[in-house]
Amino acid sequence: MSVRVRYAPSPTGEPHVGNIRSALFNWLYARSTGGTFIVRIEDTDRARLVPGAEDAILDALEWLGLDWDEGPRKGGPFGPYVQSERKALGIYQEHADRLVADGAAYPCYCTPARLDAMRKEQQAGGRSPGYDRNCLDPTKAERARAENPVGVVRFKMPVEGTIVVHDLVRGDVSFEASLLDDFVLLKSDGFPTYHLANVVDDHLMEITHVMRAEEWLPSAPRHQELYKALGFEMPHLVHLPMILGPDRSKLSKRHGATSALHYRDDGYLPQAMFNFLALLGWSMDDATDVISREELVAHFSIERILASPAVFNAEKLDWFNGVYIRQMATEELAEAILPWLTAALPDAAIDRDYLQRIIPLERERLRKLSEAPEMLSFFFEEQPALDPKKLVGKGMDRDGARGAIEGALAVAEGTEPWTADALEPAYRALAESLGVSTGGLFGAMRAAVTGRTAAPPLFDTMEVLGRDRCLARLRHALGVLGG
């Protein structure tokens, strides 16, 4: 039987990196087995819906190249793939009705006030919380109904014994039935709960493996009973380990950005994020960390999913990003940087060939694309802002600096060819003839041609800037120093 897996996000907020990790593992499993990857939107909790969240989640998947075979924006033979649309077709009601008819579920008319009082009493008495089955008694249910006619539908759970759930990563996990109460299947607004909709859809969509975050493990015994009552075969379960911050508490905004789109917008490469997320709870061999998308597809297996929590280490992500930036072909990196440059420098006409010559000078220092405009701007500005103090090199006065820049200008006019290899000896000779240190001269020249104190190697930079730009900037520096 071929693998069918799904990512089933609830559109209740940003595409959290932990949630996207679930999508990635499902995608990897589908691609590594030649199976089908499905996206299903679980929007039955109407109170928690956030406008735009569904699009943000799908955008995050697209950014990471997690293409889905069936789902929203795409369709497929098991649609619709949005639960509110499925609800409109009566799919969940039909299953709830069947369970009631079979005696596996029952309507409950208890008012929120009664449930609240019940909870308080249980708490005060030190008993475990849970529905007290008031409405299982038809007489009591009728009485409650007079007050609260709409009600909900509850699933009848076993009251005693142990429910053993098998997880492919964790093995058998036991739950005390007495701690699991008769949960709601259909709410008073007619929408199904997560439990009902999730089980019905996983069955109807012929899902073979449910791979989701560990926080859903406590739902598994409920789902297992529900599968049984509906006469459905249960898919295999795989619960993915928790993701913690560096302080080993659950990853949250306190630890930094948690939205996958934040990382996209902050200049991270999708391939770096992809690699980083794949190692949050899985390992290829406990040693290799830089693993391409193709290798991940080739090596991914459920057996190597870890049960112990994974730590989200933002520094490691930065490191991955640097690695992938250095791996990119120059043209490819230029294309990736271009939109960042044009957004930051709207007036500069950015020439692709010029950009491609700049990239080798800056690539090593670049950790994320968002840093490119700040790092590269001086290559594109008409005239970088000049601080006259920076033009006066170490051990020089203003007159000395003027003499040095005048000399530099003459060398720039006369040196052939315009290459770093030719420029360097010419300028070393100039320092000697002026009787100044090379450090002093080169510092003043760096300030003049880049406007900065920290820049890539001076003569390589001058070669790429070109003779005309260097001459113009040196002349401007003379003007700034005053005649």
* Catalytic machinery residues: 253
Part in contact with ligand GLU (CB under 6 A); list of ranges 7-15, 47-55, 177-185, 362-370: 7-15
Q: Is 354 in the site for ligand GLU (CB under 6 A)?
A: no
The angle formed by the CA atoms of residues 347, 383 and 483, to the nearest 5 degrees, is 150
CB atoms closer than 10 angstroms to residue 179: 13
225 vs 223: CA distance, rounded Å: 5
- Smallest gap, in angstroms, from Cβ of residue 161 to ligand GLU? 24
Using the minimum distance from each CB to ligand GLU, give the nearer residue, 216 or 232. Answer: 216
* Residue 18 parent element (H or E): helix 17-33
Q: Is 10 in the site for ligand GLU (CB under 6 A)?
A: yes
- Smallest gap, in angstroms, from Cβ of residue 167 to ligand GLU? 13
Using the minimum distance from each CB to ligand GLU, give the nearer residue, 15 or 267. Answer: 15
> What are the DSSP E strand ranges found in 41-129?
105-108
Q: Is 8 in the site for ligand GLU (CB under 6 A)?
A: yes
Using the minimum distance from each CB to ligand GLU, give the nearer residue, 182 or 201. Answer: 201
- Give the count of residues interacting with ligand GLU (CB under 6 A): 7
Residue with smallest beta-carbon separation from ligand GLU: 212
Whole-Å CA distances, 239 to 167, 194, 466: 7, 17, 58
Pairing state of beta strands 152-155 and 105-108? Answer: antiparallel
* Interacting positions 182-221 with ligand GLU (CB under 6 A): 198, 212, 216
Using the minimum distance from each CB to ligand GLU, give the nearer residue, 25 or 131. Answer: 25
> What are the DSSP E strand ranges found in 188-251?
209-213, 236-240, 243-244
Instruction: Yes or no: say if 70 and 77 are a contact pair by the CB < 8 Å rule.
Output: yes
Part in contact with ligand GLU (CB under 6 A); list of ranges 6-14, 98-106, 418-426, 438-446: 6-14
* Interacting positions 26-45 with ligand GLU (CB under 6 A): 42
Part in contact with ligand GLU (CB under 6 A); list of ranges 5-13, 31-39, 254-262, 304-312: 5-13
74 vs 39: CA distance, rounded Å: 10
- Smallest gap, in angstroms, from Cβ of residue 199 to ligand GLU? 9
Using the minimum distance from each CB to ligand GLU, give the nearer residue, 18 or 322. Answer: 18
- Smallest gap, in angstroms, from Cβ of residue 349 to ligand GLU? 47
Please give the structure tokens belonging to residue 235. 């898919």
Q: Is 87 in the site for ligand GLU (CB under 6 A)?
A: no
- Smallest gap, in angstroms, from Cβ of residue 141 to ligand GLU? 30
The angle formed by the CA atoms of residues 256, 261 and 265, to the nearest 5 degrees, is 90
309 vs 358: CA distance, rounded Å: 42
Using the minimum distance from each CB to ligand GLU, give the nearer residue, 302 or 338. Answer: 302
DSSP assignments along 297-326, one per residue: HHH--GGGB-SS-EE--HHHHHHHHHHHHH
DSSP 8-state assignment for residue 233: P
- Smallest gap, in angstroms, from Cβ of residue 119 to ligand GLU? 25
Part in contact with ligand GLU (CB under 6 A); list of ranges 2-10, 105-113, 324-332, 445-453: 2-10
Part in contact with ligand GLU (CB under 6 A); list of ranges 3-11, 87-95, 157-165, 332-340: 3-11
Q: Specify burial of residue 417 (Cβ count, 10 A radius: 0-12, 13-18, 19+).
A: exposed
Residue (of 242, 205, 206, 236) closest to 223 by Cα position: 236
Q: Is 222 in the site for ligand GLU (CB under 6 A)?
A: no
Using the minimum distance from each CB to ligand GLU, give the nearer residue, 53 or 444. Answer: 53
Residues forming the site for ligand GLU (CB under 6 A): 8-10, 42, 198, 212, 216
